[in-house]
Amino acid sequence: MQQIPRGVYTKEFREQAVRLVLEEGLSIPQAGQRLSISPKTLANWVGAARRGELATLGGQRTLLTESERELVRLRRELAEVTMERDILKKAAAYFAKASLPGTR
């Protein structure tokens, strides 16, 4: 199965997400669900913030050109559509098997 490409988050988004956990008292899973990000990602950000390293996260990434951003978007979309296709394929096989005579 193809891996979904990583999300790219701005520094401000990371800071606001960490603020939800540290200052507003939300749990990491609650804040992750509210922001639609992985709780593990958010836990990494909170840990980095507590160590004073949040500002340096994501610094090693270079800025993407327009065509590279489009490629990332298309790969993410392809991974999602492939996953949906696999689910539909399994569902179709399940219902086809159930409709065969003598299987009930």
Taking only the tens place, the pLDDT of each residue in 68-77 is: 889 989 999 9
**Is 77 part of any domain?**
yes
Give the per-residue pLDDT at 98.
81
**pLDDT band, residue 60 (cuts 50/70/90):** low
Identify which of 10, 24, 18, 25 has the alpha carbon closest to the alpha carbon of residue 48: 18
Tell me the per-residue pLDDT of 37-56, one tens digit each, with 9 for 90 and over.
899 999 999 999 999 888 77
Q: What is the C-alpha separation between 87 and 74, in angstroms, rounded?
A: 20
Residue 2 lies in a domain: no
Tell me: do 70 and 44 sit in the same domain.
Answer: no
**Is 55 found in the same domain as 82?**
no
Specify whether 73 is located in the same domain as 46: no
Domain carrying residue 36: 8-61
Q: Are residues 53 and 66 in the same domain?
A: no
Q: How many domains does the chain have?
A: 2
How much is the pLDDT for 101? Answer: 78
Share of the chain above pLDDT 70, in %: 86
Residue 48 sits in the same domain as residue 92: no
Q: Are 74 and 4 in contact (CB under 8 A)?
A: no
